[in-house]
Structure 1
């Protein structure tokens, strides 16, 4: 039976993903909800970009697998998941060039590791930052250029779900179990220290809170189940939603038995209440990833 690994993360960061903007205003990517509020978000493509960037930097992932031989920037025809961790984990589409005997069509591999957008847990309140390049302009006696940049400092949440059975498998390619484990292990290590370089800043996307585990099916159980509120100006996570989610049964097995929690102490006001939902003895982020890594290792039998 195929196993699925899923984890849902909360991190805290500022102004992570901008759209095209209007005139000299840089606009954050935003969503509108039924409560009338705007929430900023970090696209899944943005998260993937930084995961692959760190994969290349920390683990020498091969990113030289792209060309434009068919008029479209895409993965090379002669490259497979054996050559690229990115193609293996996040999928690909290779279009065929129409003409001659080529009937067109596409060669597609669905993502094995599926990311959601990272959505802010606090509404955007139209904060702006006024910028200019006065320092440079003064050097040559010119007037500075002006810019306005939207700013949002918030908690964010995203979910990643990995189909462990499909890692390292694509058509005739079937990597050995050690390589499969290695790729998932590296991905988990990257998520633990995930960061983003943007506009002269390096933002920390590492988990402050994380929940998940390895389940009988690849399903994002905690996606959309994270709600943040404030009490006496301190943030707390809605534990009732988490408790109800933990009651979910798959093939008559409750997911509560295989779900773990990790958090950075001192961030959320109801820390002890959250811990009471789980049976772990150690609730550190590091311990959470250690347990998950052990579970993946056991699944692949390495």
Structure 2
């Protein structure tokens, strides 16, 4: 994927975007902050265009690719919102039961980037389910900013339980081999850490990308091997890592962690300027190999 050419975006702009994307500042403060960074040809408009998602650029696997079959699937969520729905993608040709991967979105619902990640897994021989946490309130609205507001307004305990329910549903998929991997990005990475600690019987492997650390008192309950992916410049998530790693080591858990040089929070998301192609591709290759090792 090739991002459009822009003057070099200052690091402070990426920091502002992360603060905005995670609800730590509002849109007015975000735009005002970009304005203070504007100089010469680097205008507020150019920075905003570079930082905000462009999903047309990010698609790697078409929804009508002949090698996959995509559909929407509902699942029961008795401890959550009662019902959930996800985007399910499987290989078009299944000669035997396939390994399973739950793909958990960021803090804005099931956007096109996450759906594309699910399709990428199907192209690699996995059955993938990407739940839309916003389904109980009408589903992903087609706009990340609105999706972020919707997700923030929800009952967070029920929302988390919807993802737990999705994991349980996928693990028993009739076409699956019963082995479940869980992967998530940003908010979704934090949910992966919750699933492996609070529902340790469900996942057979977990890959949190730049996700919040779990309750450290529950790390001892982890059963699944973990591959933890982080960007070097992600100060918020990385600030949690030393204590999380100590807990993993103390409990003698099976984990590996990678901190990608020069990468920011969200470096795998190829719809924004935070995308780091070389690091994202390396992290993806490692993820596929890790899931094949533990799920196939």
Instruction: Tell me whether the two structures share a fold, i.e. TM-score over 0.5.
Output: no
Instruction: Tell me which protein shows more helix as a share of its residues.
Output: 2
Instruction: Tell me which protein shows more strand as a share of its residues.
Output: 1
Which structure would you say has the larger RCO, counting Cα contacts within 8 Å and 6 or more residues apart?
1
